[in-house]
A and B are shown apart, each in its own frame.
Chain A
């Protein structure tokens, strides 16, 4: 009887012992799932984010303080850091995960209208709306959308992902570089210095390309298309 029971239990024990391996590293223990909301009353010119995986959504309008809401999901052993600090006139946020895919950090902002963004994101999406501040985005697998932006400078560099930017005032510089993905840009109609290079189709409707223009649109796409529209 005893000799029979051990072989029967053996597969169960093996399966149990293998559980951590099947779950992947960093997944044992507690799962953290929490939201923080802060009102930042310091004068802020720029939000600087460095995140592994997650999202950023922001709107801007006349207001006196910056609202920050961050939702963190992470397996506790995998969470490296999820912090923020005010450094001069920068609001700096960092959220890191020890193991890929075990954490996500979702950010929501409501900012005064001139606040800019400098975002480094490994994987996720970014929606920025209505800001007049400058925007710099550096991402690996990221979808970026800009809604009714008044920014003078928009610089986006992605390995993969689509870029959809709508500017409601003429920018000094739009510089978008995407290895794989489609780029859609809407700007006020007019003359710009154009530099459009794509593996796929390039469409331009309403933008006059003029080497002597003050404003510059530079878009480089490896595999993908470029669509530029000048809105009257």
Chain B
């Protein structure tokens, strides 16, 4: 009986360990990276992430590189991976619990590859994409470099957006609830629908003309819009 009493604190401490550590933290901890090569030609990359960043680089190549760094608790990981559905490549990390789990994905895609994305939290970097991009980011900054995508349609709940186009977009539509928008576009005229927090978007080198071919529709009610023509 006395021995039992002595063991009681240790037993209680052991039993309370999961509570101290937090739910979903028992079991395997990942800190791994993967790199896969998909040979089949694809027309679109569909990306879905509950946690972690996205980076996509398009250049003259064949096949697609799918790479990710995963860290966090296995108990909170529902699924991660990629799958080919015809000529669409799906890649995903899905959360299945409350504990920390995230994956930063990196893709190398062939030119002409479209992108749809849903990113819950994490930065997004897009380099040299030349095919339509659409999707939503809940939380995270978005950076685009040397883009030539004809259409770009993105909703961002919270995060700054900084995009640079190497060729005039046909339709650029952004809805950024909380964050600043900075655009660098080929100088010229665009059909503008710009709306920011103080109602005074800053334009330099870009003119607004209802008859212009390219559309520029940016809404940033919680931030400022700056458009630079180059």
A residues at B contact (CB < 8 Å): 57-63, 69, 108, 110, 127, 129-130, 145, 147-148
Q: Is the CB of B61 within 8 A of A108?
A: no
Q: Is the CB of B62 within 8 A of A60?
A: yes
Known: A147-B40, A148-B41. A61 touches B60 (CB 8 A): yes
Q: Is the CB of B39 within 8 A of A147?
A: yes
Residues of A within 8 A of B212 (CB): none
Residues of A within 8 A of B40 (CB): 147
Q: Is the CB of B35 within 8 A of A129?
A: no
CA distance A69 to B33 in the complex (A): 13
Give me 5 A-to-B residue pairs in the complex whose CB atoms sit less than 8 angstroms apart, sorted by A's number.
A58-B37, A59-B39, A60-B62, A129-B39, A129-B63
- Nearest CB on B from A19, distance (A): 25
Chain B at the A interface: SS class: loop
- Nearest CB on B from A115, distance (A): 13
Chain B residues 163-190 with CB under 8 Å of chain A are: none
CA distance A147 to B63 in the complex (A): 10
Residues of A within 8 A of B35 (CB): 69, 108
- Nearest CB on B from A135, distance (A): 14
Q: Is the CB of A57 within 8 A of B60?
A: no
Chain B residues 41-83 with CB under 8 Å of chain A are: 41, 60-63
Q: What is the total number of residues of chain B having a CB less than 8 Å from a CB of chain A? A: 9
Q: Is the CB of B63 within 8 A of A59?
A: yes
Q: Is the CB of B41 within 8 A of A61?
A: no
Residues of B within 8 A of A130 (CB): 39, 62-63
B residues at A contact (CB < 8 Å): 35, 37, 39-41, 60-63
Q: Is the CB of B60 within 8 A of A108?
A: no
- Nearest CB on B from A183, distance (A): 19
CA distance A145 to B37 in the complex (A): 14
CA distance A36 to B63 in the complex (A): 21
CA distance A129 to B64 in the complex (A): 11
CA distance A57 to B65 in the complex (A): 12
Q: Is the CB of B61 within 8 A of A59?
A: yes
CA distance A69 to B34 in the complex (A): 12
Further contacts, 17 of them, CB under 8 A, given A59-B63, A110-B61:
A57-B37, A58-B37, A59-B37, A59-B39, A60-B62, A61-B60, A62-B60, A63-B61, A69-B35, A110-B63, A129-B39, A129-B62, A145-B39, A147-B39, A147-B40, A148-B41, A148-B62
CA distance A63 to B59 in the complex (A): 11
Residues of A within 8 A of B60 (CB): 61-62
- Nearest CB on B from A33, distance (A): 11
Which B-chain residue is minimally distant from A37 (CB atoms)? B35
CA distance A62 to B40 in the complex (A): 18
- Nearest CB on B from A163, distance (A): 15
Q: Is the CB of B39 within 8 A of A61?
A: no
- Nearest CB on B from A67, distance (A): 10
Residues of B within 8 A of A110 (CB): 37, 61, 63
Residues of A within 8 A of B63 (CB): 59, 61, 110, 129-130
**A-B residue pairs, 9 tightest by C-beta:** A59-B63, A129-B39, A130-B62, A147-B39, A61-B62, A61-B61, A59-B62, A57-B37, A108-B37
Which A-chain residue is minimally distant from B108 (CB atoms)? A110
Which A-chain residue is minimally distant from B41 (CB atoms)? A148
- Nearest CB on A from B38, distance (A): 9
CA distance A46 to B61 in the complex (A): 20
Residues of A within 8 A of B61 (CB): 59, 61, 63, 110
Residues of B within 8 A of A58 (CB): 37
Residues of A within 8 A of B41 (CB): 148
Q: From B37, B41, B60, name the one whose CB has the most chain A CB atoms within 10 angstroms.
A: B37
Which B-chain residue is minimally distant from A108 (CB atoms)? B37
CA distance A139 to B40 in the complex (A): 23
Residues of B within 8 A of A61 (CB): 60-63
CA distance A147 to B42 in the complex (A): 13
Which A-chain residue is minimally distant from B40 (CB atoms)? A147
CA distance A148 to B40 in the complex (A): 9
Q: Is the CB of B39 within 8 A of A127?
A: yes
CA distance A148 to B42 in the complex (A): 13
Residues of A within 8 A of B62 (CB): 59-61, 129-130, 148
